Amino acid sequence: MMNEWENWNMRILLDAKDLINIVEHDLPVSVVDFGQWLRDRDSVAVLSFTGISDFVGPAFPNNTFLEKRVLLQKIETLPVVYIREGTIVQDELRAAMVAFHNATEPIRLTPYVRRWDETAKWEGDAATKILVGLRLDEIVYMARRAIQIYKVEASGIRSYIESERVIPKAERWTLKEMFINRLPDRFGAYKIDPQIFDVKKFGEWLWSEPKRCLGMRLHFESHHQMVNDKSLRFDDGDIADFAHIAALPYVDILTVDKRIDDLLKKVLQKFKATAWAPVLQQNVFRNIGQVMEKFQ
């Protein structure tokens, strides 16, 4: 049975660069024309926590948020839905644990939420949930501390990747070993009770069929492709795009920059024999202009 989040022709998850180009620079079209283009195709723009946080940029420490208010109000004129990308991996894990326990396949995750304040990785509900009628710019302002915390945490990701790259390859586990042996660490980080079952057998079960936790697997493979392929640069500006990788199975279109596009091509090539990898590859674009050209 189709849920309300699937009643769209295309759900387009834009990176911050595309949002900035459309809203600030009318590229490739104005926000008004883009909104009409979406409505004509019964489609929506998907807004995420990382995407909007990067769109806002350094507005809070630089005290320039008033300028962003108008731009956020423009974004809200588009037909939009909101995705909670930051909890996809842990939510997939929880669904997979239930399925493994019941000897079934995991139910499909629905990572969409009602408002942007629900996209953050809160413990429980967002504090602003009881407030009704809030505009997007008002919600973003109220969440400014969470955005600033994200910015600080995100800046350490590149250093972490660089530190992993210096570990000699002979001293590393295989990808499969790493995936399985680090599951207990994931359980701890996500505050998941592993209950009473064989974690190694559960890991083998997950590894054997990537679709059981596809967002998690794509993010895992992308991370280690980045670590192992030193020709791939990873800049601070790529962090939001990287965060969107786990959301790829849950949207119809994903726009990313060239580096993340190249990374995803290498990852998805590993699964080219599956039915799903070629479909996902076709859903990745380098900018919204390419999307609009294809779906004229």
Q: What is the pLDDT of residues 247-282, one digit of tens each?
A: 999 999 999 999 899 999 999 999 999 999 999 999
Q: How far apart are CA 212 and CA 273, in angstroms?
A: 17
Residue 275 burial (CB < 10 Å; 0-12/13-18/19+)? Answer: exposed
pLDDT digits over 181-218, tens only? 999 999 998 888 877 679 999 999 999 999 999 999 99
Strand order in the sheet with 284-285: 112-113, 80-83, 44-48, 11-13, 253-255, 284-285
Q: What is the pLDDT along the chain (296 residues), one digit of tens a residue?
A: 446 777 899 999 999 999 999 999 999 999 999 999 999 999 999 999 999 999 998 888 888 898 899 999 999 999 999 999 999 999 999 999 999 999 999 999 999 999 999 998 655 666 667 677 899 999 999 988 888 887 777 666 777 777 887 888 777 889 999 999 999 999 998 888 877 679 999 999 999 999 999 999 999 999 999 888 877 776 666 677 788 999 999 999 999 999 899 999 999 999 999 999 999 999 999 999 999 999 98
